[in-house]
Amino acid sequence: MKKRMLYGIVGPTASGKTGVAIALAQSVDGEVVSCDSMQIYQGMDILSAKPTAQERAAAAHHMISLLPPSEKCTAARFRDMALPVLEDLFVRGKQPILCGGTGLYVDAITRPRSFALEGNEELRARLMGMERVKLHKWLREIDPQSAARLHENDVRRVVRALEIYLLTGRTMTEIAQEDAQRDAPFDARLFALDWPRDVLYARIDRRVDEMVATGMIEEVRALMQDSAMHPTALQALGYKEILAALRGEISLEEALARVKQGSRNYAKRQLTWFRRDARVQWIAAQGKSAAEIAEEIRRRAESAENA
């Protein structure tokens, strides 16, 4: 049976994904499904660079502003919320277009991944209290493949790998190998916009300046009144830095410099993630309009379908 096709516009922050996804949606009678871990939260419009009202009028968007910042959103929860949206689009004859830079959320929809295990907050807290060197050494002993993949400074993921083993008796590597044997649920055609590194960094810096101009500081000031924000939402790029400036701990100038640097570091991690994904086709973006890139994506996808 032929799988239903998904387009995916993925890649680093500030690379122009939203504009291309909208142009593609207009070209193929599609609607956009956000795959961004922060856009799903309410009240974080500027911090997460949500599509503007004008952009959402140009093409319907889904999976945006669904949860309060006080709630936890895991990849499993995201998938469970997104799959009915995709099903509705298929039923209505619309072409779903995934758009976002959260690689785990893209994988949650497009790969056969096991997300059944819920975390144990008490166990996780105990693990987080251990020295990172000891954590990584422990992981090397029980799951050397995951340890080789995860740097010891990536404490959150190292802890997650240990947590899974302690709760199930199985390693992340074993679970991933089992998932790899299962069939993917969709025919995912993933595309990423490729920019020279210096150009991408300039786009990131410019975006941060635009975010400030459109009210990012005021948005953080409103969010800081919410004492129930979940740690997941607190990871939004820019929130902690601007919060520190509003509390007088650092200057606004220093805060913005940190936001820009943090965004560049995040872009590096995104590039690493998506360059490891053999499904992703990279498209040179410099000098091309969103409509031109969308047309190239459509041609490539149709060519692969007819091959």
In degrees rounded to 5, what are phi and psi of residue 51? -55, 140
96 known member of a binding site: no
Taking residue 96's Cβ as centre, other Cβ atoms within 10 Å add up to 25
Would you state the structure tokens that stand for residue 145, as one six-digit string?
A: 């493949």
16 labelled ligand-binding: yes
Q: How far apart are CA 34 and CA 50, in angstroms?
A: 9
Check whether 12 is labelled as a binding-site residue. Answer: yes
3-state secondary structure of 281: strand
Rounded (10°) CA dihedral 213, 215, 217, 223: -160
Residues 154/133, Cβ–Cβ less than 8 Å: no
95 membership: H or E segment, kind and range: strand 95-99
Asked whether residue 13 is marked as a ligand-binding residue, the answer is yes
| Rounded-to-integer distance, Cα 42 and Cα 183, Å | 34
As a whole number of angstroms, the distance between CA 142 and CA 175 comes to 14
> How many other C-beta atoms lie within 10 A of the C-beta of residue 283?
19
H or E stretch covering 151: none
- Give the other-Cβ count within 10 Å of 29's Cβ: 10
Question: Is 17 labelled a binding residue?
Answer: yes
Binding site as annotated, residues: 11-18
Residues contributing to the annotated binding site for substrate: 13-18
> Would you list which residues are annotated within the binding site for ATP?
11-18
